[in-house]
């Protein structure tokens, strides 16, 4: 009798515990970093910590290569097979939100206090995604070169003016020591063009689209400021100050380090490699101010929640857990990107006071402007890239910008305003 | 004098012919040489050398580090197994199914045969990208018997990488073209001897179809080995990914060019082995088709 009772209790306990175990809900997380062992180990660490910190959810990671990640998400959305948590590139987020792939986050009040603006994925007044880091662009220069040519070293508060910058390029080119005064990275086609070059346009006072309505590019891309930018842009190549669209990708990678280029427009992700090659002589300088302030691009990869998730509460809990300073700092130390908060920057190796890349946090904080927050961005970016390449290759500035505006406006009309009131 | 002149002329022609052949060979071989040589160099050196003849020479800081790093970054053995498995099954099944279909078109009499054949051949002009999304939606709603009984949806599996590619219009067409040119007497004689249709297919036709089997096998092998878009759309788990998707693992913020070359060098080896194993039959098939044309 006793034996039977013991067995019964054991069976009940087993059933109870197995029930408890199965009560843990699985949350699927798709991530773009396959092939990056450092990112993977940091993310797995966060997941392990989260899984251990509570008993309701277990996050399971599926990794995808970055180059094809967006295609995988779109295919999964078509098949109705999206995971609970997705990561999304900043400028892509509005498109996915508009397409219904994502829902707004429901984080605790104050959870995003102190975050860099570029790390917060806001669309239509709601936060859809949050990034653990941001990226920034600056001018790479050698202190010795600037000093030898008596060129002032600009600061965040006192950047080079447009005219000053132009004169510096002429001066450096005239030394004859460099093939080109400035490497803009024309060999990096694709998203680099809108991300890296639209800030120049914005500094001139123009933009890729009218952000007050998101319904037209008329007057902002092809207005006076846009044309002034276009003329300056074209002159860089006409005067032989910068390599054009035929730039060799290998030169982009090594040209500045090898001394072919005096200055280089490049991102913080290349900073550590450049420092190793150039040493203390390397400077990261703020973008020039062409009249409407110095501007750089912002927004990198961020976490969001899919609309088909049946466990949105758990997904929100994971994202809120992941955005702790210690994890932001860990990612920054691991992959070199800018931590999303000042607290995390202070904890990080490269962005803390005196760190090799410290300047980038200030740049991101002061100059960052996210790319146009519209579902139409993907098309807008392609049109903008083509227009800039055409102008660099000698096309008429006004005609090219007018044609780009027509194409952008037509796309907006074809898509019934992309959700904005027409 | 006249003989000497003729000899010289002939030598000149032979010399020119060899020069042309060497030039054409170089066009095909140089990218492979570049790939293998670059796989031995660190990224910075690889990029610096790429603008000169040094790109084709194993000079400078040479090592196998890129291979070690590539194996560390990508689960290459798992990916290679997945690709070998899906490719082998697809090639085998494809040879069997498509040859049977072609046999039917070539030797059997049934109503509507010409129309069906025309429809199959017409699918040549539809690129895979056009049908990829409908195929995805269909595959997502098909039943399969799994460990938990009947499940709906084929996504994230080996069979979704194999079954949709077994039936192949190009394979059917190539087999049909080959079978059509075989003498009818072969089949008639077998029939008179009392052979069944399957016996004629298996014992009379297939044993003499070596060249076309090799051709279809190579083409199918290349298609399956290079599969990229479809696995990208249908496979979620790393454990099931084929080798070509793995190539994307190297395109990070700072692209690992040396590792890419190392990975590609490894990925190319099975293709070369497969081609070399079947090249005699492959060339024979092309030569035979040319004569018959």
- Biggest alpha carbon–alpha carbon distance for chain B: 88
Predicted-complex ipTM score: 0.77
- Report the chain A residue with the minimal C-alpha distance to residue B51: A250
Closest Cβ–Cβ partner in B229, B233, B252 for A36: B252
Residues on chain B touching A248 (C-beta within 8 angstroms): 50-51
Which pLDDT does position A238 carry in this prediction? 97
Confidence of residue B279 (pLDDT cuts 50, 70, 90): confident
Inter-chain residue contact A78 with B137, CB threshold 8 Å: yes
Mean pLDDT, range B198-208, rounded to an integer: 94
Residue B53 maps to a domain: no
What are the structural domains, with CATH classification, of chain A? 25-135+300-370 (3.40.190.10), 137-296+376-419 (3.40.190.10)
- Report the chain A residue with the minimal C-alpha distance to residue B247: A65
Mean pLDDT, range A293-314, rounded to an integer: 95
Residue B90 maps to a domain: yes
Confidence of residue A20 (pLDDT cuts 50, 70, 90): very low
Q: Chain A residues contacting B, CB < 8 Å?
A: 30, 34-37, 62-63, 65-68, 71-72, 75-76, 78-81, 248-250, 253-254, 257-258, 267, 269-270, 273, 335
CATH code at B214? 1.10.3720.10
Measured CA to CA, the distance from residue A146 to residue A163 in angstroms comes to 17
Mean pLDDT, range B122-134, rounded to an integer: 91
Which pLDDT does position A5 carry in this prediction? 52
For residue A246, is pLDDT > 90? yes
Residue B125 maps to a domain: yes
In the numeric block, the tokens 């990112």 are attached to: A39
Residue to test with chain B: of A68, A70, A77, most B Cβ within 10 A: A68
Mean pLDDT, range B107-131, rounded to an integer: 92
Alpha helix stretches (DSSP H) within B108-162:
113-122, 128-139, 159-162
User: What is the domain range of residue B117?
Assistant: 74-250
- Chain-wide mean pLDDT for chain B? 90
Residue B291 maps to a domain: no
Calculate what percentage of chain B has a pLDDT beyond 70. Answer: 95
Residue to test with chain A: of B249, B254, B261, B263, most A Cβ within 10 A: B249
CB A45 within 8 A of CB A333: no
Instruction: Provide the number of structural domains found in chain B.
Output: 1
pLDDT in tens, B13-29: 999 999 999 999 999 99
SS3 label, residue B275: helix
Measured CA to CA, the distance from residue A222 to residue A209 in angstroms comes to 10
Confidence of residue B260 (pLDDT cuts 50, 70, 90): very high
In the numeric block, the tokens 């979704």 are attached to: B160
Measured CA to CA, the distance from residue A217 to residue A409 in angstroms comes to 7
Closest Cβ–Cβ partner in B136, B237, B249 for A35: B249
Residue B276 maps to a domain: no
Residues on chain A touching B72 (C-beta within 8 angstroms): 37
Measured CA to CA, the distance from residue A346 to residue B101 in angstroms comes to 69
Which pLDDT does position B287 carry in this prediction? 67
Which pLDDT does position A23 carry in this prediction? 67
**What is the number of residues in chain A?**
422
pLDDT in tens, B33-87: 999 999 999 988 998 888 889 999 999 999 999 999 999 999 999 999 999 999 9
Mean pLDDT, range B147-161, rounded to an integer: 92
Closest Cβ–Cβ partner in B48, B72, B248 for A250: B48
Confidence of residue B272 (pLDDT cuts 50, 70, 90): confident
Q: Collect all residues with Cβ–Cβ distance below 8 Å to B183 and sequence separation of at least 6.
A: none
Most confident of A221-235, B41-55, B243-257: A221-235
Mean pLDDT, range B204-230, rounded to an integer: 93
For residue B291, is pLDDT > 60? no
Inter-chain residue contact A63 with B238, CB threshold 8 Å: yes
Residue B24 maps to a domain: no
Confidence of residue A419 (pLDDT cuts 50, 70, 90): very high
Confidence of residue A2 (pLDDT cuts 50, 70, 90): low
- Report the chain A residue with the minimal C-alpha distance to residue B137: A79
Nearest-Cα distance to chain A for B85, in Å, is: 21
Residue B57: both structure tokens together: 């020479």
Residue B88 maps to a domain: yes
The DSSP H or E segment spanning A29 is strand A25-31
For residue A81, is pLDDT > 70? yes
Q: List Cα–Cα distances, A71 to A75, A97, B135, B158, in angstroms.
A: 6, 16, 15, 20
pLDDT in tens, A351-372: 999 999 999 999 999 999 999 9
pLDDT in tens, A179-226: 999 999 999 988 999 999 999 999 999 999 999 999 999 999 999 999
Q: CB count, 10 Å around CB of B156?
A: 15
Mean pLDDT, range B261-276, rounded to an integer: 90
Residues on chain A touching B246 (C-beta within 8 angstroms): 65
For residue A4, is pLDDT > 90? no
Nearest-Cα distance to chain B for A109, in Å, is: 33
Inter-chain residue contact A72 with B253, CB threshold 8 Å: no
Alpha helix stretches (DSSP H) within B39-75:
43-49, 65-73
Confidence of residue A18 (pLDDT cuts 50, 70, 90): very low
Residue A162: both structure tokens together: 């447009």
User: For the whole prediction, is pTM greater than 0.90?
Assistant: no
Residue B176 maps to a domain: yes
Inter-chain residue contact B232 with A68, CB threshold 8 Å: yes
């Amino acid at each position: 009798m006793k034996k039977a009772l013991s067995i019964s209790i054991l069976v009940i306990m087993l059933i109870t515990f197995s029930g408890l175990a199965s009560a843990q809900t699985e949350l699927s997380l798709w991530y773009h970093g396959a092939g990056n062992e450092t990112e993977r180990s940091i993310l797995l660490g966060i997941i392990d910590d989260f899984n251990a910190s509570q008993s309701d959810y277990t996050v399971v990671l599926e990794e995808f290569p970055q180059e094809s990640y967006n295609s995988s998400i779109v295919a999964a959305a078509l098949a109705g097979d999206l995971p609970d948590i997705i990561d999304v590139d900043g400028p892509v987020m509005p498109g996915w939100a508009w397409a219904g792939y994502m829902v707004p986050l429901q984080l605790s009040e104050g959870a995003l206090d102190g975050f860099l603006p570029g790390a917060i994925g806001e669309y239509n007044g709601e936060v859809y995604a949050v990034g653990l880091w941001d990226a920034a662009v600056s001018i790479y220069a050698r202190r010795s070169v600037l000093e030898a040519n008596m060129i002032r070293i600009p600061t965040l508060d006192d950047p080079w003016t447009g005219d000053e910058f132009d004169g510096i390029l002429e001066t450096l080119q005239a030394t004859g020591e460099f093939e080109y005064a400035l490497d803009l990275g024309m060999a990096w086609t694709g998203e680099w063009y809108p991300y890296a070059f639209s800030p120049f346009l914005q500094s001139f006072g123009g933009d890729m689209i009218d952000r007050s309505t998101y319904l037209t590019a008329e007057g902002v891309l092809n207005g006076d400021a846009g044309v002034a930018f276009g003329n300056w842009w074209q002159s860089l190549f006409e005067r032989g100050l910068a390599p054009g669209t035929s730039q060799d990708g290998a030169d982009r990678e090594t040209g500045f380090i090898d001394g072919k280029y005096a200055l280089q427009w490049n991102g913080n992700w290349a900073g550590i490699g450049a420092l190793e090659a150039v040493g203390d002589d390397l400077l990261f300088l703020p973008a020039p101010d062409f009249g409407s302030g110095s501007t750089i691009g912002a927004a990198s990869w961020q976490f969001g929640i899919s609309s088909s998730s049946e466990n949105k509460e758990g997904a929100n809990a994971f994202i809120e857990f992941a955005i702790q300073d210690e994890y932001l700092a860990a990612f920054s130390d691991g992959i070199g990107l800018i931590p999303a908060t000042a607290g995390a920057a202070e904890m990080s190796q490269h962005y803390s006071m005196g760190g090799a890349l410290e300047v980038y946090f200030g740049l991101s904080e002061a100059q960052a402007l996210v790319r146009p927050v519209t579902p139409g961005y993907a098309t807008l970016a392609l049109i903008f890239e083509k227009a800039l390449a055409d102008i660099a290759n000698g096309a008429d500035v006004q005609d090219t910008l007018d044609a780009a505006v027509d194409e952008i406006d037509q796309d907006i009309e074809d898509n019934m305003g992309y959700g904005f009131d027409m | 004098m006249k003989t000497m002149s003729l000899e010289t002329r002939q030598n000149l022609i032979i010399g020119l012919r060899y020069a042309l052949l060497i030039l054409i060979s170089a066009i095909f071989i140089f990218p492979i040489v570049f790939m293998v040589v670059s796989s031995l160099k660190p990224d910075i050196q690889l990029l610096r050398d790429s603008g000169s003849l040094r790109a084709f020479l194993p000079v400078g800081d040479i090592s196998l580090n890129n291979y070690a790093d590539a194996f560390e970054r990508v689960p290459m053995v798992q990916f290679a197994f997945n690709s070998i498995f899906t490719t082998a099954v697809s090639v085998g099944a494809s040879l069997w199914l498509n040859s049977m279909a072609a046999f039917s078109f070539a030797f059997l009499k049934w109503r509507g045969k010409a129309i069906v054949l025309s429809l199959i051949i017409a699918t040549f002009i539809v690129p895979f990208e056009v049908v990829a999304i409908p195929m995805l939606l269909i595959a997502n709603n098909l039943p399969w018997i799994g460990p938990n009984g009947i499940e709906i949806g084929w996504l994230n599996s080996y069979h979704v990488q194999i079954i949709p590619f077994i039936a192949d219009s190009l394979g059917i067409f190539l087999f049909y073209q080959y079978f059509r040119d075989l003498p009818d007497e072969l089949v008639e004689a077998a029939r008179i001897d009392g052979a069944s249709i399957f016996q004629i297919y298996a014992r009379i036709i297939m044993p003499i179809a070596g060249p076309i089997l090799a051709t279809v096998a190579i083409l199918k092998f290349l298609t399956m080995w290079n599969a990229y878009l479809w696995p990208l759309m249908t496979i979620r788990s790393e454990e099931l990914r084929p080798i070509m998707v793995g190539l994307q693992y190297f395109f990070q913020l700072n692209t690992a060019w040396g590792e890419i070359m190392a990975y590609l060098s490894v990925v190319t080896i099975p293709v070369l082995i497969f081609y070399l194993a079947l090249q005699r039959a492959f060339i024979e098939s092309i030569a035979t088709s040319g004569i018959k044309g």
